[in-house]
Amino acid sequence: MLKRHEAALYATWLIILVAIPAPLVYFLNQNLVDTRQNILIYSFGVVAYVWWLTIVFLSTRPRWLDRLIGLPSMYFAHALLGVLALSFATLHKLQAFSIDETIKNLGNYAWYLSIFSIAYAIFFMSGWLVDRMRFLKRIKNQLHFIFKHQLSLWIHRLNFVIIGLIWLHVHLIGRISGITNFIIIFDIYTIFALSAYAWHQFISYDQKKYSGQVIGNFPLDATTQQLVIKLGQKAADYRAGDIFFLKFKKNPVISSEAHPFSVTSSPDESHRVVTFTIQRLGDFTKAINRVAIGSDVQLEGPFGMLDAIVADSAKKKQPVVLYGLGTGIAPLRSLAVKYANKAAIHVIWSTHRNSEIYYDEDFLSLKNNDAHFKYDVKKARFAQENLMSILDKTEISAARFIIVGSAAIVLNVESNLRKIGVAGNRLIDERLTM
């Protein structure tokens, strides 16, 4: 990770964990006449609620925050905060007391829903468990017929019910809602987080800067589609390896939920036309081949830090190994095109089938034009001994590795790389949790 990003990440966590809840905890402590123990118990609940709101805000993917800490860190904060908020809410729930049934029930319902919501998200939406335990992955895949991504998103939105229940719970406690400065900040936080979410969902996508049009849509192989989109005039410039969230609004052939995809093209090829390589696996991606040429598409973004990371390596003359697994090659092709002849690039591409090496010619062409460019492709995974033979000593001891692909396999590749001597702090990944 870059030093600047590391500092930004620490600062972000400090702000989220301490600075944002601090005014509410301060005013509660200053104004509520109660024992220290009780105020601490109430503070646990307040902090949990503030973190819950922060989770909502992070789900709006603020681009300024992406440029500071990156989208994966933002998602990680979103997920970890959920667990932390539930822990604090549990401390509050187990120790707080109210004789009023309504207040008690509102708090209890919010807590039960939180447990369900977080357990569901950990299992179905994060890769924390399924990427590490095969039997859980199998169970998830079997249940996927019922709990489709679209349904999971709606279940995830139960978080707004939780927020509503807690909001009412607090407002009904006269001793607390009567503390004016506390309750005003409490309400401002709530309105801000919900407004940011509403803006993101209902307004932001219609801005001209997000507009685009499909100008190409063709299969690369039996399960992979290439989508070419012409960006609108006001769209922000993208960088190599960036991510856009694509949304097809009011298109009868495909769901209107936004989904993330990495760019395959490099801005050096055409900064107004962007190409995506999409594996047709889920409900959304299976329908992508039916999107007609000329369809309107909204592109939220671009997000990503891979370009900045490779640029940093190029500046330091540090070799870069771009390790793609299947369609994980997409952002790496973009980076390879941009940084060939500017940095020592080594592309490693592991595929399922021979037919999947749809960018083979591009990489061979880069290799022909750049003496330092290395390219290895294989229709299978690279075992440790394969890696030892294709990576030179400098790469093992000094190169930065960027690995993109299915989460479980990425973890496996990283384990192999560590075993042959690659330091963990030089491994950067983008995991695609299916």
Partner 1 sequence: MKTRVTLFIAAIAIIATAVIGFDLLRGQNKNSPTTTVNQNVSSNNQGGKVKGKQKTLIVYFSRREAASSIYKDRVLKIGNTKQIADMIKSKTNGVEYEIVPVKDYPKSFDRTSEVAQQEQNDNARPKIKNPIPDVSQYDTIFIGAPVWWGDYPMVVHTFLDAVDLNGKNVVPFSTHEGSGLANYPEVLRRQYPKARILKGLAIRGSDVAYSRGDVQGRVDRWLTSLGY
Site of interaction with partner 1 (CB under 8 A): 31-35, 38, 97-100, 174-175, 177-180, 183-184, 187-188, 191, 195, 198-199, 202-203, 206-208
> Which one, 197 or 238, has the nearer CB to partner 1?
197
DSSP 263: B
What is the smallest separation between the CB atom of 35 and partner 1, expressed in angstroms?
6
Q: How far apart are CA 305 and CA 66, in angstroms?
A: 8
Q: What is the CA radius of gyration of the chain?
A: 24
> Which one, 175 or 379, has the nearer CB to partner 1?
175
What is the smallest separation between the CB atom of 199 and partner 1, expressed in angstroms?
7
> Which one, 31 or 295, has the nearer CB to partner 1?
31
What is the smallest separation between the CB atom of 191 and partner 1, expressed in angstroms?
5
What is the smallest separation between the CB atom of 38 and partner 1, expressed in angstroms?
7
Q: How far apart are CA 202 and CA 14, in angstroms?
A: 30
Are the beta carbons of 51 and 21 closer than 8 angstroms? yes
> Which one, 187 or 362, has the nearer CB to partner 1?
187
What is the smallest separation between the CB atom of 334 and partner 1, expressed in angstroms?
31
CA end-to-end distance (rounded Å), the chain: 25
What is the smallest separation between the CB atom of 67 and partner 1, expressed in angstroms?
24
The single-letter code of the amino acid at 26 is Y
> Which one, 100 or 237, has the nearer CB to partner 1?
100
Pairing of strands 296-303, 243-247: antiparallel
The single-letter code of the amino acid at 120 is Y
Task: Count CB neighbours of 154 within 10 A.
Answer: 9
What is the smallest separation between the CB atom of 207 and partner 1, expressed in angstroms?
7
Dihedral sign for Cα atoms in the order 95, 97, 101, 107? negative
What is the smallest separation between the CB atom of 103 and partner 1, expressed in angstroms?
10
Task: Single out the residue of 259, 218, 215, 266 nearest to residue 242, CA to CA.
Answer: 266
What is the smallest separation between the CB atom of 181 and partner 1, expressed in angstroms?
8
Q: How far apart are CA 310 and CA 321, in angstroms?
A: 10
What are the C-alpha distances in Å from 146 to residues 113, 155, 188, 284? 20, 13, 38, 15
> Which one, 137 or 169, has the nearer CB to partner 1?
169
Dihedral sign for Cα atoms in the order 76, 303, 298, 228? negative
Are the beta carbons of 279 and 226 closer than 8 angstroms? no
Pairing of strands 243-247, 259-262: antiparallel
> Which one, 38 or 213, has the nearer CB to partner 1?
38
> Which one, 41 or 402, has the nearer CB to partner 1?
41
Token pair for 108: 């209890």
What is the smallest separation between the CB atom of 156 and partner 1, expressed in angstroms?
23
Task: Count CB neighbours of 145 within 10 A.
Answer: 7
Report cis status (omega within 30 of 0) of the bond before 302: yes
Dihedral sign for Cα atoms in the order 88, 91, 96, 102? positive
> Which one, 174 or 294, has the nearer CB to partner 1?
174
> Which one, 180 or 256, has the nearer CB to partner 1?
180
